[in-house]
A and B are shown apart, each in its own frame.
Chain A
Amino acid sequence: MFDVQTLLILIPALPLAAALATAALGTRLLRDRSHVPVVTALVLSFAASVLLVFQLQERIEERATQPGSSQSAGVEEVVARWSWINVPDAMPHPVDGRVETPGWGNFNIEVSLRADPLTAVMLAMVTCISALVAIYSIGYMRGDPGYWRFFAYVGLFVFSMTMLVSANNFLLLYVFWELVGLCSYLLIGFWYERPAAAAAGKKAFLVNRIGDVGFALGIFLIWTTFGTLDFGGVFQSVGQHAGDWRVTAICLLLLIGACGKSAQFPLHVWLPDAMEGPTPVSALIHAATMVTAGVYMVARCTPLFAAAPDAQYVVAVVGGVTALLGAIIAITQTDLKRILAYSTISHLGYMFVALGTGTLLGITAGMFHLITHAFFKALLFLGAGSVMHAAGGVIDIRRLGGLRRRMPVTYWTFLAGCLSIAGVVPLAGFWSKDAILLSLHDRSGLFGGGLFEILYLTTLLGVVLIDFYMFRPFFLVFHGKEKIPPEAGNHLHESPGSMTAPLVVLAFGSVVVGAYFEWTHGFAHFLSFTPSFECLAQSGHTAIGTADKWRVAAIGSVLTAVGVATAAMLYLGSGKAVARLARAMNVFGLYSLSYGKFFFDPIYNAFVVWPLLSVARLAAWFDCMAIDSLVDRCGRIPKLAGAALRPAQNGLVQFYALAMVFGVLVLLGIMLM
C-alpha cells in the first residue's frame, strides 16, 4: 500500500503537520486537547517507520536470494523533492591532479531523503520513543499554561529528528542538526520564567554552536575535497583519498560536531544543565534521541572514518574518557535527573568507543547500544518524572525514600530500567554492553593495540561504576525508610494511567529488545546492508571464537554483580559506611572532583567565558575611546585649522596691507630667483 518513498516522506511530514496545526489552533481551539494531533501523528509515524523497516527487510531478503556484486545495492532508496540551492560550477576544477567525482563543484543541495537500514532503525527508535513520551506528557504536562506550546515543540522536534536521520547530504544533515538544537533550546527553556531554565537553554545552544562550527568546517572541507556534499558521492570517492590529511581533518571536525550534540568530553557541559527542561523533554531529547545524533553521524560517516584510522582512535579515546568521566561524576550527584544525565553522557561515551573500533562488529554494537539505551534511559527518565510528579517536584534523592509501596508501577518499571542499564543477564542492556565489550576485546587482540587494551579495561571499570551509580539512587529513593518531602502534600500516590502505560511499555522493551535482537541475529544483519558499512564488510575482521564470547560475558556479569552488591551494601544499610567511604575517597580529592563535576563549569567560565566577556568589554571601550574618539578628533581638524588662521583676521587694515606687501615681496623674490 505504501511504498518506501511515501513512507519516507510521511514519517517526518506527519509530526510537522501536527506541530503546525497545534501551533495554529492550540490557543483557541485545542487548548487542553492540544496533544491530540501530535500524539496521533507520532503514533502514525511510528507505524510508518515499522512498515519501512519491514519493507527494507523484504528487500534484504530478496538480495540474499540473488547474490550480486554489491551487498547493499538495491536496498537503499533516495527521494529528492526540491532543490534548495543550485549553483552549477561553483568551484573550479582541482588543479593539483586530484581525482574528481562526477558532478564536481555543482553546489546543488537537494532536499533529499534516504532510506537504508541505518536510517530505518533510527527512525523506528525515534518515533517509538517520541510517541511514548508524548503519551506520557499528556498526564505530566496537564494544566501547564504552555500545554499547546509543549506539544507543538515536540512535534517540531520529531520532524527535525526524523529528517536528520533520513537526510541524504551533509548540508541537510547540518540543517536539521541545528534545528533539533533549536527545539532543544526551546524545550529546555520551556519554563522561560525560571532564569536557570532560560540560561540552560542558551548554554545548550551555544555549546552546540561550538560543535556546529566544527561540523560546518568539516562540511566546508568535504566540499573542497570531494566537490560534492551528497553522502553517496562523498563515500564513493573517499577511497581515492585514503591517507589524505584532509580526510583525517574532516573526521576530526565532524567529531567536534558530534561531541557537541552528543555531549562528549569536552563539550558535555550543557547536558546536565539541560535537565532544567520538563522531564519528558529530558527523556526524549536529552537521553534517547537528539543526543544520539552524534553517534548516528559518526556511524553514517563510517567510510570517512574508515579512511582515517587516526581519527578513529580519537573517537575511541574521546568516548572512553567521556564514559569514565560521566560515570565518576554520576556517583556523587544528588539530583536524580542529573545522575541520569551523567549516565547518558557516560553511555554515549560507550557508543563512541564502540564506533572508534572501526569494525563492523563495533559499529553495530554501538548502534545496538544506542537502541537499547534509548529504551532504558527513556524509561528511567520517565520514572524519575513520575517520582517528581508525585513528590511535588522534589528530585533530590536525599529527601526521598521508601517510595516502593506508594508507587508500585513506577518502582517495578524503574527496577527493570536499572537492571537493564546495569546489564543484568537477559535484559537489553546486557546484550548491547556485551557487544561493545566484545568488539573492544576483539580489536585489542587484532593489532595488539595497546590503546584498545586500555579502553577495554576502562569500559570494564565503567561497568562497575554504572551499576553502582544507578542502584544508589534506586535504593535511596525506593527502599529504606519512607521519606516524603513536604512539597508532596499528604497524598503521594502513583501517577495516572497515561503516565504509567508508557512506563510499562518501555520496561517491556528494556527487558526484551536486546534478547530478541541477539537471538535472531537480526540487528547486525539488518544494519550490515547499509551502504555506509560496505567498506567495513569488505575489509573483514577475524571471527570471534565462542570462548571469547563467553569470557567477555562472564567478566561483564561478574563486574555487574560486584557493582550492584556494593551499592546494596552501602545504601540498603545505614549511611555510616557511605560517609566513611566518601571521607576515605576525599583524601585523594576524588570525592570533591566527582561532586564538583570535575569543575568544568568554573574552568570554562574562567578560561573561556570570562576572558571573552572581558575582551568584549575592552572592545566596547576601545570602540568608544579609541576609534570613535579618533573620528571625533578628525572632525576637529578643520576647527583647529581655523583657530590657527584666525589671528590673521584681526581687523586692522594696516596689518592686511603689510601682509599684502610681504606677499608681493615673496612673489617678487620667487620671480627674481
Chain B
Amino acid sequence: MNLLLLTTLFLPLAGALLLGGDRNWARHGALAISLAVLGIAVVLVARYPGGTAPFASTDWPWLDWTAAPIDVRFSVALDGLSLWLFALTALLMVVAVLVGWEAIKDQASLYYRLLMALETGMLGVFVARDIILFYVFFEFTLIPLFFLIGIWGGRQRRWAAMKFFLFTLAGSVLTFLGLLAVVLWVYYHPAPEAASGRMTFSIAELTAALGARPMDPTMQIWIFLALFAGFAVKAPLWPLHTWLPLAHVEAPTAGSVLLAGVLLKVGVYGFVRFSLPMLPQAAAMLMPWLLWISLAGVIYGALVALAQSDIKRLIAYSSVSHLGFCTLGIFAANRLSVAGGVLQMVNHGLATGGLFAVVGMLYERFHTREIADFGGLARRFPRLAFFTLVLTLSSIALPGLAGFAGEFPLLVGVFQRGWAGDAAPHALQLRAIAVLSLVGVVLGAWYMLWMYQRVFFGPERTGDKNRGSGIGDRGSGYEALDISNPKSQIPHQQISGSLSPNPDPRIPNPDPHAAGPHHFPKGEGTMRDLSPREICCLTPLVAMIFWIGLQPGFFLDRMRPTLDDLIAPVTRACETASDSPPRPQSRGVFSLSTIHYPLPTIHYPLSTTHYPLPTTHYPLSTIHYPLSTSQ
C-alpha cells in the first residue's frame, strides 16, 4: 500500500464530491487539489527507481466472491510506461484548471467537480494494474468529459458530446469483450503447475501467463481486433477519428487540453499495455496492416489539417497526424520505435495541449477561431507569439525541442524495422511505410508554419469581425492599455523619428492610421498580451518541452526497462517469423494480397479446455507467397 499514489487518486475524487460554494471557492479548491497532485507526482517521479518492478503499488482485494473464482483486485502501481503519462496528466490538469479560470462563469463549481472527477479517471487509467479496474477508469473518463463538452461547449456541444460518447463507448465495449476473452482464456488454460483455479484479472499475471503459454494465433488475431476496436477509436486511428475534430472544436478549452493531452494517449497506452505483450503474434502478423493504418492517419491527418480554416480544427487534425506517428512507432515494435512512440505521446500532450490552451486564450480575446480573422498578432502579443512559436516548433519536431526527441528515435525504429537486414517479413511494405512516413513530417511543418504565419505574421488584423468593435474603435484608450507589451513601451513617435532616414523600407511603416495600438477596443482588458495566469499556464509546458528536447535520455532511461519487457514477446514473434524458411522472394511485387492470413478458418469455442497448443507449428510459416520462387 502506497499512500502517495492513493492520494493522487482519491484526493481529486474527494474534490469531485466535496467542492462547492461559489466560483471562486471552487476554482481555488480545484487548483489546490491539482497542484497537490502535481506535487505528489513530482515526488513519485523523483523517487522512481527505474527497472521493471512496479513502483508505489497498492493491492487490495476488491470483488472476491466465494461463489465464483473471480479475483478482481484494486491494484495500482507505477511503472516505466505509466510514469511519464501519469506525470503529464498531473501537469496538464493544473493547466486545465488555470486555462478556464476566467472563462467559466456558469455553474463553475460543477465544472471544477467534473474536472476533478476526470483527473481521478485519467490518473487511474495509467496506474491500474487490474483489467477490471483499468476498464472502470477507462470508461469513467468518458462521463465527466461528456458533461464538460455538453454543458460548457460551443454551439454544437450536445451533438459533439453525444457523438464522442457513443463512438468511444461503442468501441470500448468490444475492448471489454476482448479483455474478458483474455482473462477467460488464461483461466481455462492454466499452467500445469499452478492449478489454483482462480480467475485472475491482474495484468502482470495475465501477461506472464500468456508469455509462458501463448495463445493460438488465430485466437490472438480475433482478440487483437476486439481490443483494437476500442483503443483505435480512443487513439484515434484513421478512419475512426471523426469524433475528434468535432469534440475538440466544441469542447471548452480545458476539455480540449485534456482530451488532446491525456485521453488520446489512453488508447495508445492500451496498445502498449495489452495488445503488444499479450497478443504478440497477432501484433507481428498484423504489423504491416497496423502500420499502413497509422501511416494513413499521419498523411491524411496532415492533409486535412492543411485545408482547415479553423485553428482548433487544424490542431485537432494535427493530433490525428501525430497520434499516427505514435502508433506507427508502437506497432513497429522495436526498442527505439516504442521508446520514441511513448515519449512522443508525452511530447504531443505538452505541445498540442499547449496549443489548445493558446487557442483558448485567443478565443477569449477575439471570440473567433477562424484563421482568416487573425493576422500580425506577433506585434501586439509578443509573449503569446513566443509561446506559440515554441509549441509549434515542438509540434513540427524541431531539434532541441521535445517533438524531435520523440520523433527521431521513433522514425529510426520504424525505418530499422524495414531496412535492417533483408530478413524482415513484408520487408518491402515496411520499407515503403518508413519512407512515406517522412512525408508527414514535411506536411506537418507546412500546415503548422502556415497557420502560424497567417495568425501571427503579416499586417496586423485583429479579426473579430463578428463583434465589429475591434477595428472600428480607434484613437482612444491607447495610453492606458498594453502595459505588458514591452515593444509598445517605446513611444510611437520615437520609433518614427529614429527611422528617419528610413534604413530600409522593409521596416513596416508605422502608419498610425493603418496599424498599431490604436486598434485596441476601448477598455477591453483582455486585449493585452498574456496575463501572469496565462504565463503560468504555458511556462511549465514550454519548460518541459525544452527539458525533454535537450535531455531525452533522462526520460527514456526511466521508461525503457519496462518497455523492453513489454515488447519482448513481439520482438520474439517477429524474429520467429523471419526465421521461417519460405522467405518472401517477391521483393519486386508491391501487394498486400500476397499474404494470406488464416483468419476465418479455425473456431475455438471458449469453453473447450483442450487446445492443440501450437508452440512449434506457427502459422506465419504457413503464409503463402504465390510469387515465391522457392516453391
Contacts and interface: CB of A to CB of B under 8 A. Distances in A.
Find out whether A and B make contact in their complex, taking CB atoms under 8 A apart as touching. Answer: yes
A182 B393 CA distance: 9
Interface string B388-423: 000001000011100011001101110110011111
B483 interface: no
B560 interface: yes
Decide if the interface of chain B is mainly helix, strand, loop or mixed.
helix
Which of A27, A85, A87, A487 has the most B CB atoms < 10 Å from its CB?
Answer: A85
A224 B337 CA distance: 14
Nearest to A219: B412
Contact of A195 (B416, B458, B498): B458
A209 B442 contact: yes
Contacts of B400: 175, 179
Contacts of B399: 174-176, 178-179
Interface stretch (B219-227, B302-310, B521-529): B302-310
Contacts of B163: 631-632, 635
B307 A617 contact: yes
B460 A193 contact: yes
Interface residues of B, number: 80
A231 to B, nearest CB: 17
Contacts of A532: none
Interface in A188-217: 189, 191-195, 197-199, 201-202, 205-206, 209-210, 213, 216-217
Interface stretch (B54-62, B85-93, B180-188, B505-513): B505-513
Interface stretch (A139-147, A325-333, A420-428, A582-590): A139-147
A601 interface: no
A393 interface: yes
B503 A141 contact: yes
Contacts of B600: none
Contacts, number: 206
A213 B441 contact: yes
A329 to B, nearest CB: 23
Contacts of A619: 300, 303-304, 307
Interface stretch (A54-62, A92-100, A652-660): A92-100
A651 to B, nearest CB: 30
Which of B243, B439, B456, B503 has the most A CB atoms < 10 Å from its CB?
Answer: B503
Contacts of B376: 192-193
B210 to A, nearest CB: 23
Contacts of A577: none
B504 A615 contact: no
Interface stretch (B124-132, B194-202, B445-453): B445-453
Contacts of A620: 303-304, 307-308
Contact of A392 (B411, B412, B501, B556): B501
B336 interface: yes
A84 B549 CA distance: 9
B411 A193 contact: no
Interface residues of A, number: 78
Given A145-B490, A489-B501, A224 B420 contact: yes
Contacts of B456: 192
A278 B504 contact: yes
Interface in A473-499: 487-489, 491
A558 interface: no
B622 interface: no
Which of A144, A389, A620 has the most B CB atoms < 10 Å from its CB?
Answer: A620
A224 B398 CA distance: 23
A223 interface: yes
Interface string A91-115: 1101110000000000100000000
A548 interface: no
27 contacts: A27-B487, A84-B405, A86-B556, A87-B336, A90-B336, A90-B412, A107-B336, A107-B409, A142-B503, A182-B398, A189-B453, A191-B507, A192-B376, A193-B508, A194-B508, A206-B445, A209-B441, A213-B441, A216-B408, A217-B435, A223-B412, A224-B419, A278-B506, A389-B503, A619-B300, A623-B300, A631-B163
Interface of B: 163, 166-167, 239, 241-243, 246, 300, 303-304, 306-308, 334-336, 339, 376, 378-379, 393, 398-400, 404-405, 408-409, 411-413, 415-416, 419-423, 434-435, 438-439, 441-443, 445-446, 449-450, 453, 456-460, 486-487, 490, 495, 498-499, 501-508, 515, 550-553, 556-557, 560, 575, 578
Given A84-B553, A223-B415, A631-B163, 16 more contacts: A85-B552, A92-B575, A143-B498, A179-B400, A191-B507, A195-B457, A197-B457, A206-B449, A209-B445, A217-B435, A224-B416, A389-B503, A619-B304, A620-B303, A627-B241, A628-B246
Interface of A: 27-28, 82-87, 89-92, 94-96, 107, 140-145, 171, 174-176, 178-179, 182, 185, 189, 191-195, 197-199, 201-202, 205-206, 209-210, 213, 216-217, 219-221, 223-224, 276, 278-279, 388-389, 392-394, 487-489, 491, 612-613, 615-617, 619-620, 623, 627-628, 631-632, 635
